[in-house]
Amino acid sequence: MTDTTEAEPQALPGDGLREGLVDELRRRLGEALVATELRPNDDLWVRIDTASWREAGEALAAMGFEYFCYLSAIDWMPSPYGRGEDDPTEPPPERTTEVVQGVTGGATRFQLLARVTDTRRHVGITLKSDVPDDDPTMPSWSAVYAGANWHERETHEMFGIGFAGHPDLRNMYLPTEFEGYPLRKDFPLLARMVKPWPGIVDVEPMPADEAVPTESPDVEHAETDSTAVAAAAAAEPDTSEPGDAST
């Protein structure tokens, strides 16, 4: 890939640089640039129209974003299993099923997520694009960024999103006979389904203190701010409903 005149290195990354990038992208992509979000001196998000995903990659590559960082996807549907902390003996609680997209909005359950970087101007862009709900297939980037090949395989395996034009969408991680798409929110973690999450059980007494009633770890460690947080990391019972200690 060669330098284009638009990709003249600038001294410092800043607002002007990122605003210029948005303008440049809009000039190249026109209507296909659906939404942008710019946090000054921090980061830049753009949402690309589904059909122009590949063109967006080509445009960015031509603008000097030669470094391919990653490509993945997000499933915006809230998990029907919550955080997997339900007691299997109880009926599952009511959960919202409303799909709410994040930064730069969107209209579909799945969104592609990718990031490319310009190593000379030290600036990166996070790209998003809606994946059609009825036919989750996107144009492949593997001809634009060679590194996207494996990332698309991974995304295909984890989310079940197809990539038109990808040379080889075999499974990357899991055995071929594996069923389901693990990173979809409705993929259950069976180990959490069949037995109660250990966190809902209160802290077990140490073997020697069997006779002593169990103390809450909050009381034991909450002397200073820092140790309190340490305790929060070490023991999790406060993050869940206190459950039956005998389970």
Partner 1 sequence: MGLVDRGRMPGAIEKLMNLGRSYSMWVYQWGLACCAIEMGAAFASPRYDVMRLGVIPLPASPRQADLVVVSGTVTDKMAPAVLRLYDQMPEPKYVISMGSCANCGGPYWDSYSVTKGVDQLIPVDIYVPGCPPRPEALLEGIVLLQQRIKHEDMAAKWRGETTEPLRREPIVVGGGNVA
Partner 2 sequence: MTDLSERQQLSYIAGQAADARLNVELETEGMTLNIGPQHPATHGTLRIIVRLDGEQVVWAEPSCGYMHRGYEKLTEVRTYPQVTTLVNRIDWLGSFANEVPFILAAEKLMEIEAPPRAQWIRTILFELSRIANISLFLGDLGVQLGAVTPAFFAFRDREHVLNLIESVTGGRFHPNFDRIGGLKDDLPKGFVDETRRVMRKMRTYCDEIDDLLIGNEIFQARTRGVGIIPKDVALQYGLSGANLRASGVDWDLRRDQVVPMAWDDVDFKVWTHPDGDSFARCWVRLQETREATKIVDQLLDGLPAGPVMAKVPRIIKVPAGEAWVSTENPLGEMGYYVVSKGDLGPFRVKIRSASFNNISVAPWVLRGVYVPDVITILASLYFILGDIDR
Residues interacting with partner 1, by CB under 8 A?
84, 173-175, 182, 187, 189-192
Sheet holding 110-118, edge to edge: 33-39, 43-48, 123-131, 110-118, 67-75
Site for partner 2 in 187-246 (CB under 8 A): 187, 189, 192, 222, 225-230, 232-233, 236, 238-239
Residue choice 21, 25, 59, 74 for contact with partner 2 (CB under 8 A): 74
Tokens of 71: 């490509």
Tokens of 73: 């996807």
Please say whether the beta carbons of 161 and 181 come within 8 A: no
Is residue 122 within the footprint of partner 2 (CB under 8 A)?
Answer: yes
Residue choice 150, 241, 242, 244 for contact with partner 2 (CB under 8 A): 150
Number of H helices and number of E strands within the chain? 6, 7
Q: How many residues can be counted in the chain?
A: 247
Sign of CA dihedral 133, 47, 112, 143: positive
Interacting residues with partner 2 (CB under 8 A):
1, 41, 43, 45, 66-70, 72, 74-75, 78-79, 83-85, 100, 102-103, 113, 115, 119, 122, 124, 126, 145-147, 149-150, 158, 171-175, 182-183, 185, 187, 189, 192, 222, 225-230, 232-233, 236, 238-239
